[in-house]
Structure 1
Amino acid sequence: MSDYRTLNRASWDERAPAHAASKDYRVSAFADDPAHLSDVVRFDLPRLGDLRGLRGVHLQCHIGTDTLSLARLGATMTGLDFSPASLAEARRIAALAGTPVEYVESDVYQAADKLDRGGFDLVYTGIGALCWLPDIRRWARVVADLLRPGGRLFLREGHPMLWAIPDEPRPDGVLAVELPYFEQTEPTIWTEGGTYVETDTEFVHNTTHEWNHGLGEVVTALIDAGLTVTGLTEHTTAPWNALPGRMSQVADGEWQLTDRPQRLPHTYTLQAVRGSV
């Protein structure tokens, strides 16, 4: 297997400026409105609860709009990502917004060595993060290592059922499960131009390696790492157009299947708490 980190980092480094410049991330709104939050964080406000006074880390933070939003809700936030170009944009956006956030460059599997092991009240992971990791059990151990006893993981992620459906529609229109649902040793390799935001930028680094992780695999990995799952909600919407031509935009920047959306879980929100040592 090729070095997935090198390939994936090159893709994210190239796309980060285009993402920050796109209308989808609404960077200017963070500068213009001190109360502005990302759509992803706003979606989960009823589940996030009071973050004031908490120390949090956002793993795989990309350009930091969700990290910044959590800081605006009162948490002292650190964002971690392996892409220096993404972090450059994240720092620029935080400065424009006037909201202090610390950003650290690291592969997620080394997060506990780079940060304060056992020093966080909140570990946050957002949409489209876990698919870049080959080993969900190793990720769960990192989460446990970062949390203090009683600290909480908050995860909203694309549902593995959604990831198992190709984004290119079939000629017959059937919504078919054709990609792995469960974690595999070998990655699914994609070679695609473009990105998930509207942009005219043409990219060169277009090969990426990804892995799906079944919902049971995620839950079991967290339990085995010493966390107790305290909440799991499956949603019939996603914050991006995951299946072009087959989805419609609904409220608050969310998308869902146009035809019978109740037949497919689009995303999920999971919460878990680290037990005492």
Structure 2
Amino acid sequence: MSDDYRILNKANWDERAPAHAASPDYDLHRFLDEPDFISPVVRFDQPLLGDVRGLHAVHLQCHIGTDTLSLARLGATVTGLDFSAASLTQARQLAERTGTPIEFVESDVYDAETALGAERFDLVYTGVGALCWLPSVRRWAETVAGLLRPGGRLFIREGHPMLWATDEKHTDKLVLGYPYFELPEPMVFADEGTYVDTDAEFEATTTHEWNHGLGEIVTAVLDVGLTLTGLTEHASVPWNALPEQMEQGHDGEWRLSAHPERLPLTYTLQARKPRPDSD
């Protein structure tokens, strides 16, 4: 496959990183003012994530590092990885300003094992809005398996493929407008904005994205030898994914205003890498 998708997507993220860091939606001032503040995303994850104190963790596709910093504040030793140099600039500044020792590495996620080393981590963490930028979920799963130590685990909360397949331009009903299953060719989008509140104007507007069906994701994880330990579907998502059809709760999560039971919006998947002496 051509590397054009990396070039286009990297330009998009590089341009948006400073705007994201400056946006109130990322709450960077709270990380600076409140030593125990953690991101709403990681706060939502905590009940399923559990105790991470003492774990060596890697956050793949870490962007500007707010979730990475949150994992560190929960007691993990964390490495953040992203292909966007501009995003990592913001992440490093945030870590330095809060006095938090975090290693940030610039690399494409598929090259993470080469960039970081094999079987180094007790925890591979991936947050919402990551897999849609990758053309092959199988290659992603191979990367995760390569990074994990025996006994280590994968934790990912991600946008549900049913949400990614829903056309958000329809504001009065739920309409499936995009592929549910992974296809060889990308979906091509041209979006002049971004998902946070900002007055910034952008020039890098074209992105290439892919959906991956839930069965494809689970199968990829199993095929690389990991053991599935949890799969939970959620009726909420951290941003207003379907404008004019959602309302925000006290927890900061967005849900369908009418009959939220109709559509899963995110899911949490957990898996472990077996130890050599395990059955």
TM normalised by structure 1 equals 0.98
Q: For each residue in 1:236-275, what CA deviation from the matched residue of structure 2 results, as whole angstroms up to 9, or x when unmatched?
A: 0000010111111112211011111111001001100011
> Matched residues in 2 for 1:268 and 1:73: separation?
22
Is this contact kept in 2: 1:52–1:73, CA < 8 A? yes
% same residue: 65
Aligned equivalent of 2:93: 92
SS of equivalent residue, structure 1 residue 252: coil
SS of equivalent residue, structure 2 residue 201: coil
Instruction: Give, in angstroms, the shift of residue 96 of structure 1.
Output: 1.7
SS of equivalent residue, structure 1 residue 104: strand
- Which stretches of structure 1, 4 residues or more, deviate above 6 A after TM superposition? none
Is this contact kept in 2: 1:187–1:209, CA < 8 A? yes
Q: For each residue in 1:32-67, what CA deviation from the matched residue of structure 2 results, as whole angstroms up to 9, or x when unmatched?
A: 111000000000111111111100000000000000
Q: For each residue in 1:70-94, what CA deviation from the matched residue of structure 2 results, as whole angstroms up to 9, or x when unmatched?
A: 0000100000000000000000111
Q: Is residue 2:233 matched to residue 1:234?
A: yes
Instruction: Give, in angstroms, the shift of residue 276 of structure 1.
Output: 2.5
Aligned partner letter, 2:131: L
Aligned partner letter, 1:271: Q
Q: For each residue in 1:7-45, what CA deviation from the matched residue of structure 2 results, as whole angstroms up to 9, or x when unmatched?
A: 000000000000000000000101111100000000011
Aligned equivalent of 1:155: 156
Instruction: Give, in angstroms, the shift of residue 99 of structure 1.
Output: 1.4
Aligned equivalent of 1:34: 35
Aligned equivalent of 2:167: 166
Q: For each residue in 1:103-123, what CA deviation from the matched residue of structure 2 results, as whole angstroms up to 9, or x when unmatched?
A: 000000000000021010000
Instruction: Give, in angstroms, the shift of residue 174 of structure 1.
Output: 2.5
Instruction: Give, in angstroms, the shift of residue 95 of structure 1.
Output: 1.3
Higher mean C-alpha displacement, 82-91 vs 254-263: 254-263
Unaligned runs of 5+ in 1: none
> Matched residues in 2 for 1:212 and 1:149: separation?
29
Aligned equivalent of 2:11: 10
Please give the residue correspondences for 1:233-272 in structure 2 after superposition, counting only pairs within 5 Å: 233-272=232-271
SS of equivalent residue, structure 2 residue 24: coil
Aligned partner letter, 1:200: D
Higher mean C-alpha displacement, 10-19 vs 94-103: 94-103
Unaligned runs of 5+ in 2: none
Aligned equivalent of 1:192: 191
TM normalised by structure 2 equals 0.97
How many aligned positions are there?
275
> Matched residues in 1 for 2:177 and 2:204: separation?
25
Q: Is residue 2:175 matched to residue 1:176?
A: yes
Instruction: Give, in angstroms, the shift of residue 2 of structure 1.
Output: 6.6
> Matched residues in 2 for 1:251 and 1:210: separation?
31
Higher mean C-alpha displacement, 137-146 vs 44-53: 44-53
CA-atom RMSD in angstroms: 0.9
SS of equivalent residue, structure 1 residue 18: helix
> Matched residues in 2 for 1:51 and 1:260: separation?
35
Is this contact kept in 2: 1:128–1:157, CA < 8 A? yes
Q: For each residue in 1:114-138, what CA deviation from the matched residue of structure 2 results, as whole angstroms up to 9, or x when unmatched?
A: 0021010000000000000000000
Aligned partner letter, 2:130: A
> Matched residues in 1 for 2:36 and 2:275: separation?
35
Q: For each residue in 1:142-193, what CA deviation from the matched residue of structure 2 results, as whole angstroms up to 9, or x when unmatched?
A: 00000000100000000000000012116xx221111100000000000111
Aligned equivalent of 1:75: 76
Higher mean C-alpha displacement, 203-212 vs 44-53: 44-53
> Matched residues in 2 for 1:94 and 1:37: separation?
13
Aligned partner letter, 2:83: F
